[in-house]
Structure 1
Amino acid sequence: MKKSVVLIEDDKKTREQITEILELSNFIVFVAENEKNGVVLAKTIIPNLIICSVSKAKLNHLEVFEMIKQSSHLQDVPFLFLTTKHNLNNKDLINLIQVETNQYLLKPFSKAQLLEAVESRLKKSINTQLLNKTKSSIENYWKSRNTSILIEKFLKNKTIYRYKKDATIYCQGNLSHHIFYIKKGEVKTYKVNELGKEFITGYFKKNECFGYSSFIIHEPHFENSKAISNVQLYKISKKELVELIANYPTLLYEIINLLAHDLIHLKEQLLRLAYGSVRRKTAATLLQLANEFNKKGDGEINMSKINLAHSIGIEYETLIRTLHDFKEEKLITENEKGLKLISEKKLLKVL
């Protein structure tokens, strides 16, 4: 099967030469004359390799790399940078090459040098994907094992606490004495600013924990939590958790993984709030909720619009207008249960 390449090169002669070499070597080549078009093309094609020429254009190579890697579909796609000796004085480029790609090709180059560099990047990408797949399998193994230990060891004979829909579970400033584990239902965590505006910081469902950040650092809760459906949950005390970790040290891996995931999620939220347009913030949140909060993987999001607006960090009226536009563009649809994504690929293009 032919492998596809997206070539981002602003020089017409160089672009045509590279295209000819690759096509004669059985590659399918998609060309872009500038970085902006290259980003759009890469997100549309999802190629096996991206070749990017380092230029002095308005959108530079670092921005191209970061924008493309933001897409989950392109995170494993390798890059090959085409540059000159002069650009090797650029510290940002050197760091990017060493840490992220470990591969560049100096201009001018021969046909053999180009093909060797392309094959090297593709081979390394395959090895990286195999490594990531193995790592993911290990992570899933430990996660399932530790969750079953948690349920079997501590939850079987523990008291079940019940909260009705919209009931408060804890408030900001309350002392943190437990980690909460959801047996049934859904919970949100949120903060309220001085103007009374709510901003949702997290959603949690069956077989998930919440309230662990404040619990671990021995601080009062820095956010509020509320049941968004009828909820049944367990409370795990500090003494019980210490005993569990002492008996099963690998549980620490899962706790660290939860904290790291929360940190990444909050950083993404802050970046969207600071720099993202309303359309981008809405699209990103819809994709995230469909991925993390939907069990069936059918793109359905069963959430009230007011909670969705609070999660995105925009006004309710603004959300309604944006969702209307998305429906007109056939990105989403709506039924009595809630919203449903029609095309994740099209939504990704909004980002």
Structure 2
Amino acid sequence: MKKRILLIEDDTTLLQNTRELLELSGYEVFTAQNGEEGIDLALEKLPDLIISDIMMPKANGYEVYKALQKRNKTREIPFIFLSVKANPEDVRRGMNLGADDYITKPFREVDLLTAIASRLAKHDILRNNFKNSTTSPEEAIYDLDGLREYFLRSGEIEEFHKLEEIFRETGNASYVYLVEEGLIKTYRLDEYGKELITGLVKKNDFLGFYSFKTPSAYPETAQALQNSKLYRITTEHFVKKIAASQNLMLEFGQLISDNLITLKDHLLDMAYSSMLKKTTNTILEFAEKIQESPRDHIRISRSDLASVAGISTESFIRSLSSLKKDGLIDIVGRDIKILDLEKLHEIK
């Protein structure tokens, strides 16, 4: 069976000449003359290899590659950049993205054909090695770290802007997510429409799993507090992975138990602590969740912070003023900066 190649090139003459070369060499060739058309054709035809120019209308070669990397069915297709750009920075950028090769124009026919043949051969060898492996995916995932690696390897990438919803309460719980970048809040609305934040989800945390019974509904809404990148797999697939390993099931069960204890502690704090203590604990919680250093600036809206604390925004702001007056924090514009971490922990 002929190997199928997708050629994306906006230069009509070069497109036709290269297509003829590849067809004479025994390949079946599909062509596109801009990036958007190339993405659509790749998803439709699922070629064995993609060759793409870089400087193109509608979507350049880098954008084409990134778009196809987000899709499970196209991310493993060998990808060769083809461009007149020849400086080391451009070559390095293309290769750092993960492309298989970078060929500069004008090129020798033999160089292009050799690159294609070697990339196709490498891909076939890796695929055959995977098929012949005695280790099944279930056997390879035996702990939470392995599960996170599986999400990064096999999950579908989803990117969300600040304040964009990931899922909504009562919606079908179709996916489970792993947070790769950013910060997510989960919340519910009471009968008066007041928002109660139920959790904060940061990098390396799982999001969206609520029941081993499928289908189920999301019991809360998830919204990005920062620009965020997540990987997702279907809930059904997630349950199968958990159920396939006893050790993984125990670790995930412990994770759920730990999260429940944290939530109970937070609810007790909301019920019985002073407003100043609630404010302090919320600042510390956000600092732990989103900062590499607890003393870095916290850039979250006052209303979100107040919602986590379980007090009104006005009460929260008054408490912030008190903490600033005591020299424990500083307020720079909309940012909060911790000045005395130890004394914040000591507040009753």
Give TM class, smaller chain: 0.5 to 0.7
Find the counterpart in structure 2 of residue 274 from structure 1.
271
Alpha-carbon deviation of 1:336? Answer: 4.9
Find the counterpart in structure 2 of residue 179 from structure 1.
176
Alpha-carbon deviation of 1:217? Answer: 5.6
Find the counterpart in structure 1 of residue 211 from structure 2.
215
Find the counterpart in structure 2 of residue 228 from structure 1.
225
Residues of 2 paired with 1:254 and 1:295: CA distance?
Answer: 26
Structure 1 residues 324-333 or 233-242, which shifts more? 233-242
Match of 2:336 among 339, 344, 351: 339
Match of 1:189 among 181, 186, 189: 186
Q: CA 1:239–1:192 in 2, change beyond 3 Å: closer, same or farther?
A: closer
| Offset from partner CA, 1:157-178 (integer Å, 9 cap, x none) | 4321222221111111112122
**Contact 2:243 2:249 (8 Å CA) reproduced:** no
**Contact 2:186 2:200 (8 Å CA) reproduced:** yes
Alpha-carbon deviation of 1:267? Answer: 1.1
Secondary structure of 1:327's counterpart equals helix
Secondary structure of 1:265's counterpart equals helix
**Contact 1:199 1:313 (8 Å CA) reproduced:** yes
Alpha-carbon deviation of 1:147? Answer: 4.5
| Offset from partner CA, 1:213-258 (integer Å, 9 cap, x none) | x234654222111112222212222342244335543222332232
Identity %: 31
Structure 1 residues 285-294 or 314-323, which shifts more? 285-294
Alpha-carbon deviation of 1:323? Answer: 0.1
Find the counterpart in structure 1 of residue 12 from structure 2.
none
Residue ranges of structure 1 left out of the alignment (5+ in a row): 1-144
Give yes or no for the alignment of 1:252 onto 2:230: no
CA RMSD of aligned residues (A): 2.4
Alpha-carbon deviation of 1:183? Answer: 2.2
User: Aligned ranges for residues 110-149 of structure 1 at < 5 Å?
Assistant: 146-149=143-146
Find the counterpart in structure 1 of residue 290 from structure 2.
293
Counterpart of 1:342, as a letter, is: L
More helix as a share of residues: 1
Find the counterpart in structure 2 of residue 201 from structure 1.
198
Alpha-carbon deviation of 1:299? Answer: 5.3
TM-score (norm 1): 0.54
Q: CA 1:296–1:247 in 2, change beyond 3 Å: closer, same or farther?
A: farther
Q: CA 1:318–1:241 in 2, change beyond 3 Å: closer, same or farther?
A: same
Residues of 2 paired with 1:274 and 1:171: CA distance?
Answer: 27
TM-score (norm 2): 0.54
Q: CA 1:277–1:237 in 2, change beyond 3 Å: closer, same or farther?
A: same
Alpha-carbon deviation of 1:322? Answer: 0.7
Counterpart of 1:301, as a letter, is: I
Counterpart of 1:348, as a letter, is: H
Residues of 2 paired with 1:267 and 1:255: CA distance?
Answer: 19
User: Aligned ranges for residues 238-249 of structure 1 at < 5 Å?
Assistant: 238-249=235-246
Q: CA 1:294–1:146 in 2, change beyond 3 Å: closer, same or farther?
A: farther
Find the counterpart in structure 1 of residue 300 from structure 2.
303
Give yes or no for the alignment of 1:312 onto 2:313: no
Q: Number of matched residues?
A: 207
| Offset from partner CA, 1:98-143 (integer Å, 9 cap, x none) | xxxxxxxxxxxxxxxxxxxxxxxxxxxxxxxxxxxxxxxxxxxxxx
Q: CA 1:179–1:291 in 2, change beyond 3 Å: closer, same or farther?
A: same
**Contact 2:298 2:335 (8 Å CA) reproduced:** yes
Alpha-carbon deviation of 1:311? Answer: 0.9
Residues of 1 paired with 2:182 and 2:299: CA distance?
Answer: 12
Find the counterpart in structure 2 of residue 36 from structure 1.
none
Residues of 2 paired with 1:341 and 1:217: CA distance?
Answer: 43
Between structure 1 and structure 2, the one with the greater Rg is 2
Q: CA 1:252–1:303 in 2, change beyond 3 Å: closer, same or farther?
A: same
Residues of 2 paired with 1:307 and 1:175: CA distance?
Answer: 26
Secondary structure of 2:143's counterpart equals helix
**Contact 2:177 2:208 (8 Å CA) reproduced:** yes
Secondary structure of 1:195's counterpart equals coil
Counterpart of 1:231, as a letter, is: S
Structure 1 residues 279-288 or 289-298, which shifts more? 289-298
Q: CA 1:280–1:181 in 2, change beyond 3 Å: closer, same or farther?
A: same
